[in-house]
């Protein structure tokens, strides 16, 4: 049986932070029976786009994957020039055509840093 047939898609909690801050985003991988899935040998792609405009990618990064979760580090330079309401989405890339899984999607609010537009 394919381990990923029972992956639970997470509706992420809204995230708020100030542009230019260091932030780590965590995405947990588990089955519908709440068992962690080891994804350390796989890849996770993360994208950030303006709210309701997925055609405009503001930022994309790769996550570091572990047993049961993935981490996307947002460096201060990644967000220093951003501000507003965005959507984030993390996708588990299995390496098998047609078998990628959305780990989570949610709102990310970035408050523009003082002195930046």
Asked, for residue 117, whether it belongs to a domain, the answer is no
More confident of the two residues 47 and 117: 47
Report pTM: 0.84
Asked, for residue 25, whether it belongs to a domain, the answer is yes
More confident of the two residues 1 and 20: 20
Q: How far apart are CA 117 and CA 67, in angstroms?
A: 39
Question: Over pLDDT 90: what percentage of the chain?
Answer: 60
Question: Does the structure show a pLDDT above 50 at 6?
Answer: no
Contact (Cβ atoms closer than 8 angstroms) between residue 42 and residue 93: yes
Q: How far apart are CA 56 and CA 50, in angstroms?
A: 7
Question: Does the structure show a pLDDT above 50 at 2?
Answer: no
Asked, for residue 38, whether it belongs to a domain, the answer is yes
Asked, for residue 1, whether it belongs to a domain, the answer is no
Asked, for residue 46, whether it belongs to a domain, the answer is yes
Mean pLDDT, residues 53-81? 95
Please, which residues have CB within 8 angstroms of residue 72's CB and are 6 or more apart in sequence? Answer: 24, 25, 27, 44, 46, 61, 62, 63, 90
Whole domain around residue 37: which residue ranges? 8-111
Asked, for residue 78, whether it belongs to a domain, the answer is yes
Which CATH number is 65's domain given?
Answer: 2.60.40.10
Contact (Cβ atoms closer than 8 angstroms) between residue 83 and residue 110: yes
Structural domains counted in the chain: 1
């Amino acid at each position: 049986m394919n381990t990923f047939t029972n992956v639970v898609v997470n509706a992420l909690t809204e995230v708020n932070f100030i542009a230019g801050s260091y932030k780590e985003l965590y995405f947990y991988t588990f089955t519908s029976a709440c068992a962690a899935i080891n994804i350390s040998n796989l890849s996770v792609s993360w994208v950030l786009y303006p709210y309701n405009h997925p055609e405009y990618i503001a930022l994309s990064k790769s996550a570091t994957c572990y047993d049961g979760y993935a981490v996307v580090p947002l460096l201060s330079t990644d967000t220093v020039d951003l501000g507003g309401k965005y959507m984030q989405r993390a996708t588990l890339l299995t390496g098998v055509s047609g078998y990628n899984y959305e780990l989570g999607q949610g709102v990310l609010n970035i408050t523009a840093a003082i002195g930046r537009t």
